[in-house]
Amino acid sequence: MKQNTIPDLSLGVTTGTPIHTALKLSITASKNNYKTVWIGDDILSYEAFTYTSIIANHVKNIRIGLGVISPYVYPISTIASATATLAELTFNNFILGLGVGGSLEVERLTGVKPKKVVPRLQDTITILKKIFNKETVNFEYGDEKIVAYKLSFTKYNIPVYLGVRGPKLLELAGRLADGVIFSAPLSLLGESLKIVKKAAVNAHRNPDDIRKILWNGFILSNNVEDLKLAKSVVLTIINSMSDSLLAQLKLDTDLLNQIKKEFLKGNKSQAMDYITEDILREFCLFGGVEELKQQFIEIKNLGVDEIIVGPPFSSNPLKTIKTMSSEKIWRK
């Protein structure tokens, strides 16, 4: 199979995963030539930069990506210095993913709901780029402030990706980000990619310079019953999507609203009961190896460069990581 027709495959774990499990998966991925270990921040779970550093210290020859880190959760000085530390640790093999984070989780941790997300992310990415360029910066946002801040030790021009969904944030990614992490309904993926591309062109950038990554639910299985493994992952995605975005899906809107309503009330299991097979398929890559390969090629054709093999994987995540090794699945 020609390299330009197949996407890179990466591993995805979240900070809610017990660390020893994540280490086993990450080490296996690094031995099986996965492109990146992506670490997703479950805001209310383990601290993300510590978690990422532990993984980075135990793997070899694999890139480390952390996504997404929310400026509503971490002050910019923490994001900057922790990112620069991880870049130094990995010898410039680190990517920072920024995003708003789940609105509910952010509010639960900080007591404040994220507002004005487009300017906030725009400011954050702009300031971070300056800091990584060793410039002295000043920044003020609400209670947060940095004065004449400079990271003298930073050595690298660290790539900053955005993990975003709505059109305005996708445009922002096209204008400023080095990459985009989509965690999107598959039926809207093509449109999302077009928005990024258009924004890039308008900003006089080459859209191909922006790396496009897809991180949806992933299940290696021929058994439709196993799709249910992804209910928790899909629930998280649905709840972080705006109502207007959900309304664009060819799914039962009343059902989606019901899911959100139950989740907001704290009834997670009831919310999951409403998730149907159609909904799961909209947010998940699912199937046996051959089916998945076909899906990978279709997604690559849309313009995605890298696909994340992430939770729930299957009933045997470690076996899935070994099976989905690029070398093995594309060998034929």
Partner 1 sequence: MKIGLHIDGMYDIHALIKKSRIIEKTGLDAIWLGEGPEHRHIYPVLGTVASKTKSIIIGTSILSVHMHKPLQLFQAFKLLKEAFGDRFIIGLGRGGEKHLKIIGKNIFKTIPLLEEYLHTYTDFQLDLPIYLGAIGFKTLIKLGDKFDGVIINSISPRIIKTVIDKTGLKNSNILAIGPSAYLPDKTLLNKFLITCAFIASELPEKIALELGVDRQLQQVRKYFLNHNITELKNMRGFLEENFGLAGSMEDFENRVFELEKIGVKQVIFSNPITENHGKFNEFVKKIAELRNPR
Binding site for partner 1 (CB under 8 A): 18-20, 45-47, 49-54, 56-58, 73, 75, 77-78, 81-82, 84-86, 88-89, 109-110, 140, 144-153
Q: Which is nearer to partner 1, 100 or 196 (CB)?
A: 100
Residue 38 near residue 59, CB atoms below 8 Å = no
C-alpha angle with apex 38: 76 to 111, nearest 5 degrees? 40
CB of 146 to partner 1, least distance (A): 6
Query: What letter represents residue 21's amino acid?
Result: T
Q: Which is nearer to partner 1, 148 or 209 (CB)?
A: 148
What distance in Å separates the CA atoms of residue 137 and residue 7, rounded to the nearest whole number?
Answer: 38
**How far, in whole angstroms, is CA 229 from its chain's centroid?**
19
Work out whether the CA dihedral 288, 228, 241, 159 comes out positive or negative. Answer: negative
CB of 109 to partner 1, least distance (A): 6
Q: Which is nearer to partner 1, 107 or 305 (CB)?
A: 107
Give the bridge partners for 302, in sequence order.
Answer: none
CB of 10 to partner 1, least distance (A): 20
CB of 41 to partner 1, least distance (A): 11
CB of 42 to partner 1, least distance (A): 10
Q: Which is nearer to partner 1, 110 or 270 (CB)?
A: 110
CB of 110 to partner 1, least distance (A): 8
Closest CA to 271 of 312, 228, 235: 235
CB of 102 to partner 1, least distance (A): 15
Burial code of 278-295, b = ≥16 C-beta within 10 A, e = fewer?
A: ebbbbbbbbbeeeebbeb
Structure tokens at 290: 């051959």
Q: Which is nearer to partner 1, 29 or 73 (CB)?
A: 73
CB of 245 to partner 1, least distance (A): 29
Tokens 């965690």 belong to 183
What distance in Å separates the CA atoms of residue 59 and residue 24, rounded to the nearest whole number?
Answer: 10
Q: Which is nearer to partner 1, 146 or 214 (CB)?
A: 146
Q: Which is nearer to partner 1, 88 or 226 (CB)?
A: 88
The DSSP annotation for 24-78 comes to: HHHHHHHHTT-SEEEEE--TTSS-HHHHHHHHHTT--S-EEEEEEE-TTTS-HHH
Q: Which is nearer to partner 1, 47 or 277 (CB)?
A: 47
Q: Which is nearer to partner 1, 86 or 162 (CB)?
A: 86
CB of 149 to partner 1, least distance (A): 6
Closest CA to 249 of 281, 273, 223, 225: 281
The DSSP annotation for 186-231 comes to: HHHHHHHHHHHHHHHHHTT--GGGSEEEE--EEEE-S-GGGGGGGH
Closest CA to 39 of 59, 203, 222: 59
List Cα–Cα distances, 201 to 119, 171, 307, in angstroms: 20, 11, 24
